[in-house]
Amino acid sequence: MREILEKLYLKNSLTREELLYLLGNLMENDRDKLYRLAYNTTLRTYGNRIFVRGLLEFTNYCKNNCNYCGLRRDNKKVERYRLSKEEILVSLEEGNKLGYKTFVLQGGEDPYYTDEILVDIIKSIKNRYKDVAVTLSIGERSRESYEKLYNAGADRFLLRHETATKKLYDSLHEGMSFEHRIKCLINLKEIGYQVGAGFIVGLPGETNETLADNLLFLKRLEPAMVGIGPLISHPDTPLRGFENGSIETTLTMISLTRLLLPNALIPATTALNTLSSEGLEKGILAGANVVMLNLSPIEARKKYEIYKGKEITDIHQLKKIEERVKKVSFKVDMGRGDHINYNGRIKDV
Ligand code: 5AD
Ligand code: SF4
């Protein structure tokens, strides 16, 4: 175990066999050591800074039916909403006033937002705020569509791969395809976006092999950002009553990702914060260095219920975030927080 951790820290790479050995034999003291190595790695790459993002959930319509998600199309209990361009701009102005330099526009896969509508929204934002980064998180689209949005000024794109085990992926995503999802990630990277991938911890049937698949996939894809969060079972989905993902496993995955991809931007996710009262602090101690704060209109927030009990920290609560991260010797950085040394190269994923 000692040798594997040492190799991971110094070489930032492990074979599948080593990863599986590590996952199968991690004792409590090894885990603490892993967290420490990951935290030190963050200090080495980005320093003790946590980057903040303003997250705007602009539509909760979704044409997909992911088995874990409260916004899936078959959930008729959701009151659906869409924000207009004007409403979006009003919300972002609040974030701008507070000094936010990254806005994440997130939504379900909602065909209402055509390329034309989105191009107009992105151009308006980039025109108004010259020095902000715009991140899209709007699911799978054609390569042409991704190109248009990039040319309109979008800088980054979040599209979690959800799980890199094809069989598991297919069992949870009726009507979708694993191959297409991966193709989308490659397209986004080739176009020039800073790409965010990531996965859910604790999906039904998850094994150490699944976790290793995820980590090895990330190592090959080399995304700029990686979002990892525990499953939180939603009562109005096929995964109702299913056990939530483990906090410990989530933190272990954050650490391993930090060590495999030292330059990645890794959020302490909302899901982690929802399941754990000190999710942000624990996330940072395990290698995270980003936090996404909510800037959606109040009426929208309740309706954007991916899972129950979502712990929302909003953009006005920066002070609280500052105090919390201070406990783990970090400070809030209000800059754009771009990836350092981003490698747009595509390997064989
Ligand atoms: N629990 C945890 N994460 C979820 N997501 C969707 N539903 C759930 C859930 N019930 C995650 C997916 C998606 C991201 C926006 O939220 O990974 O990509
Ligand atoms: Fe739609 Fe995303 Fe939820 Fe899947 S995870 S149902 S694509 S909002």
pTM, entire model? 0.97
Give the closest residue (by CA) to ligand 2 atom 6: 72
Nearest to 242 by CA among 288, 307, 192, 337: 307
Q: What residues of the chain score a pLDDT lower than 50? A: none
Give the ligand with the smallest distance to the CA of 163: 1
Residue 347 confidence (pLDDT): 73
Provide CB contacts within 8 A for 17, sequence distance 6+: none
Residue 279 confidence (pLDDT): 96
Residue 232 confidence (pLDDT): 97
Distance CA 243, CA 263 (A): 32
Distance CA 126, CA 152 (A): 8
Q: What is the DSSP string of 217-270?
A: HHHHH--SEEEEEE----TTSTTTTPPPPPHHHHHHHHHHHHHHSTT-B-B--H
Is 82 strand, coil or helix?
A: strand
Q: What is the DSSP string of 123-169?
A: HHHHHH-TT-EEEEE-----HHHHHHHHHTT--EEE---B-S-HHHH
70 lines ligand 2 (CB under 6 A): no
Residue 151 confidence (pLDDT): 98
Residue 308 confidence (pLDDT): 87
75 lines ligand 2 (CB under 6 A): no
Rg (CA), the chain: 19
Give the ligand with the smallest distance to the CA of 109: 2
Residue 286 confidence (pLDDT): 98
Residue 346 confidence (pLDDT): 75
DSSP strand E in 26-77: where? 49-59
Residue 233 confidence (pLDDT): 97
Residue 267 confidence (pLDDT): 98
- Best mutation site among 58, 65, 71, 231 for ligand 2, i.e. most ligand atoms within 8 A of its Cβ? 71
User: Virtual CA dihedral for 335, 341, 345, 347, nearest 10 degrees?
Assistant: -110
Give the closest residue (by CA) to ligand 1 atom 13: 160
User: Virtual CA dihedral for 261, 262, 265, 267, nearest 10 degrees?
Assistant: 90
Q: Which residues of 225-241 are buried (b: 16+ CB within 10 A; e: fewer)?
A: bbbbbbbbbbebbbbee
Give the ligand with the smallest distance to the CA of 66: 2
DSSP 314: B
139 lines ligand 2 (CB under 6 A): yes
